[in-house]
Amino acid sequence: MTLKQPYKLTAAAGTAIVIANMVGTGAFTSLGFQLKDLQSPLAILSLWILGGLLALAGAFSYAEVGTSIKKSGGEYAFLSEIYHPLVGYLSGWISLTVGFAAPIALSAIAFSRYFPVTGIDTKWIAIVMIAGITFLHTLTLRTSSRLQVITTLFKIAVMAALILPGLIMKGHAAVEFSPDAAYYRDLQSGAFAIALVYVSYSYSGWNAAAYISEEFRNPRKALPLALIGGTLIVTLLYTLLQFVFLKHTPVAALAGQLEVGAIATKNMFGATAAQCFGLAISLLLVSGISAMVWVGPRVTSGMAAQHRLWQYFRPDASGIPRRALWLQFAISLLLILTGTFEQIMVYCGVLLTLSTMMVVGAVFILRLKKQSETAGTYRSPLFPLFQVLYLLLCAWMICYTINNHPLETLTGLGSLLAGIITYGISKALEPAKHNKRAPEL
């Protein structure tokens, strides 16, 4: 009698997780705000390509670090191994408390507002949505994988349904994509640099597969394919989507507008199609919520395996962190009911960016130790070009955020202090290690 092997993820499932985490409402809403200060359509496309390049630089680095460390948990596992357990713990603390729960809550609220149901408080629609998805992810890993692949394929299909006709159809006569004086002026402006900050947020999630690397059939091959392949697909989709929006709608009609997708869809297909667009966006969000619900508890379970304070949230015999899943749901529920998560996202953004910077910087440490030269380790191309690019751009964005949001930054530092306290408590709960004395002769 042979034992049944546990189900493992394919590279396709990992790619679906990355795409689902990355693609959100930002691709359908942020263009209008960029056009308030940038007038050149070509400059806007350059902005989205640069944002994709930044995400790709991070994906290259995470692929090298992830195939060297070979542990699930993302930044928590990597930083604990390369720097110090406290550094990894603080990264995990941020992920556990708000890093995933807050964006889940935000996306669920957005879903509830787009979903065509009246007479019900949108908060309860959001809560039921998160609870239902959480329950599905507590069943089996196969169920989680299938749910993610199906919802992500739907997301890509909706975007393709906008992009492909948009590329073929004749565009608006007033729109031009040319490197004119306005283009070069926009590239050198402060508005372009500021817009890059928000575009980079739209690309966040490119590192999602690193949180579940141990659940792949072949992490050495699957992790780089998921991280890099998913990022490249999203970069292509994002750039083409913005191109279609700009091609069919004058800049003046989009500038300052939130519903740029609906405006462009109306110009392309008519008013009826535009009305259906809100429902499509709500369904698109299901995939992103599912991916974050799936990935987030893997950080908590990773902490539970090494820290006594969190051991209650270890995965069960099936390998699924069911208690950690429901803990994440409880935090998301609290954020939805209190309505405080938007400010939390501002301050935790700086801390999460610092965590990713330290992982990217770890590539230099691995190269010095020659740890990344071992068999089965992915090697980032053109080292250290992508790493230097990522670190410089992220440092600039952090400085900008600190300058414009000092209160939220101080709050973030306060949350780190709370994390240090819980780390100390966890260490205090560990059983004392007594040195064995040698027997006397």
Domains of the chain: 11-423 (1.20.1740.10)
Q: What is the mean pLDDT of residues 353-365?
A: 92
Q: What is the mean pLDDT of residues 196-204?
A: 80
Q: Is 230 exposed, middle or buried (0-12, 13-18, 19+ CB in 10 A)?
A: buried
Q: What is the mean pLDDT of residues 216-243?
A: 92
Predicted pLDDT at 439: 45
Read off the pLDDT band of 437 (50, 70, 90).
very low
Predicted pLDDT at 325: 94
Share of the chain above pLDDT 90, in %: 28
Which pair of tokens denotes residue 196?
């890059």
- Please tell me what DSSP assigns to residue 99: I
Higher pLDDT, residue 224 or 27 = 224
| pLDDT above 80 (res 197) | no
| 8 A C-beta contact, residue 144 and residue 16 | no
Alpha carbons 69 and 78: distance in angstroms, whole number: 7
Which pair of tokens denotes residue 190?
């402060």
- Which among 351, 390, 416 is positioned nearest to 62, based on CA atoms? 390
- Please tell me what DSSP assigns to residue 437: P
Alpha carbons 111 and 278: distance in angstroms, whole number: 9
Q: What is the mean pLDDT of residues 301-316?
A: 88
What is the reported pTM? 0.82
Q: Which region among 10-19, 60-69, 98-107, 414-423 has the lowest average model confidence (pLDDT)?
A: 98-107
Read off the pLDDT band of 436 (50, 70, 90).
very low
Read off the pLDDT band of 264 (50, 70, 90).
confident
H helices of 169-218, in order, are: 181-187, 190-202
Asked if the peptide bond before residue 431 counts as cis, ω within 30 degrees of 0, the response is no
Q: Which region among 120-129, 268-277, 324-333 has the lowest average model confidence (pLDDT)?
A: 268-277
Q: Compute how many other C-beta atoms are within 10 angstroms of the C-beta atom of residue 251.
A: 18
